[in-house]
Amino acid sequence: MNELFTERLRELRAEQGVSQVMLAKSLGVSKGIISLWENGLREPTLSNLVALADFFGVTLDYLTGRTND
């Protein structure tokens, strides 16, 4: 996954005050998976990307760094 995704995921969590544990529970994944995504060591599935975008109220394009909107 690109570096912009990992950066945006961390920023969105911080801005909204969401811990890795809280996000993991909301998405039905482990905290470890969130950490792997944020560190660029694992790529989320498409369904997880959609869930992340929905959770944070952003577009997939924004989340993946394709746009700044």
Instruction: Residue 61: name the closest of 27, 53, 16, 34 by CA.
Output: 53
Q: pLDDT truncated to tens, each residue of the chain (69 aa)?
A: 589 999 999 999 999 999 999 999 999 999 999 999 999 999 999 999 999 999 999 999 999 999 887
* pTM > 0.85: yes or no: yes
Which tokens hold the place of 9?
A: 């995921």
Q: Report the 10 Å Cβ neighbour count for 54.
A: 12
pLDDT at 53: 97
SS3 18: coil
pLDDT at 1: 59
Check if the beta carbon of residue 18 is closer than 8 Å to that of residue 27. no
Check if the beta carbon of residue 24 is closer than 8 Å to that of residue 44. no
pLDDT at 69: 76
